[in-house]
Amino acid sequence: MSYRITKILSLLGVVLALAGMPVAAADSEGAAKVRNSLGMLLPGLRFGEITASPIPGLYEVVIGHKLAYVSEDGRYLMQGTLLDIELQRNLTEPRLNAIKSKAITGLDENLMVIFGPEKEPAKHNVTVFTDIDCGYCRKLHSEIDSYLEKGIRIRYLFYPRAGIGSNSFKKAVSVWCADDRKAAMTAAKAGKAIEERECDNPVRADLALGEQLGVSGTPNIVLDNGKMIPGYIPADRLLAILDSEGSKR
């Protein structure tokens, strides 16, 4: 593979491991032409949905959890935000949110540490990429009862910012491998020492998913509709956002 093609893939945050992703069931004539062109220029990489953009001759292409715009002949590819200036509307953001929503809501909850209301059904559901050693992650978790009281269910995914093999990574693995994951999570985030353990765990997969979705810091809160909220946010404010977004379970 040429350096030019490798650079394109790097910019998109896509590797050939995504080659097995599903392809859209049916393309329009123009989208089919784009797919064929990309297939010749980027052999070995399969693409998801390809649809016409509002700009004639430019197509929206889903690659993993990313979005790109490609000319009909497959020669020109660009990333960025497509804006409708007349309507003052961001056309890219809702499409990216839909891609993220599909990725997040399709996850196996058996591979998460989940804190939910015990007495009443949850009103809302959020997924939080968290780092055991992150100060604002600890602040959020110290207020977990406030979120639960407001009917917000917290689904934790691990995102040790220091990377694989770091102390934060090892703590995440130990939390997952603990006999009581929720208790271990609470203790670790309170700065208490927990027993170091190893077992099959989802920490690497969570970290990779976060990178693909564009997580750059923690905590990072993802709503079911795909909207991402970086940083700590108190329970009452998060509830107001969830109510306004209509992201009920």
Active site residues: 131, 134, 137, 161
CA distance 91 to 172: 37
DSSP-derived pairing of the beta strands 124-130 and 152-158: parallel
CA distance 241 to 245: 6
Contacting residues for 81 by C-beta, under 8 A, at least 6 apart: 90, 91, 92, 93
For residues 127 and 107, the answer to whether their CB atoms sit within 8 Å is yes
Report residue 87 as tokens.
């309507």
CA distance 59 to 68: 8
Q: What residues are paired with 221 via a beta bridge? A: 128, 229
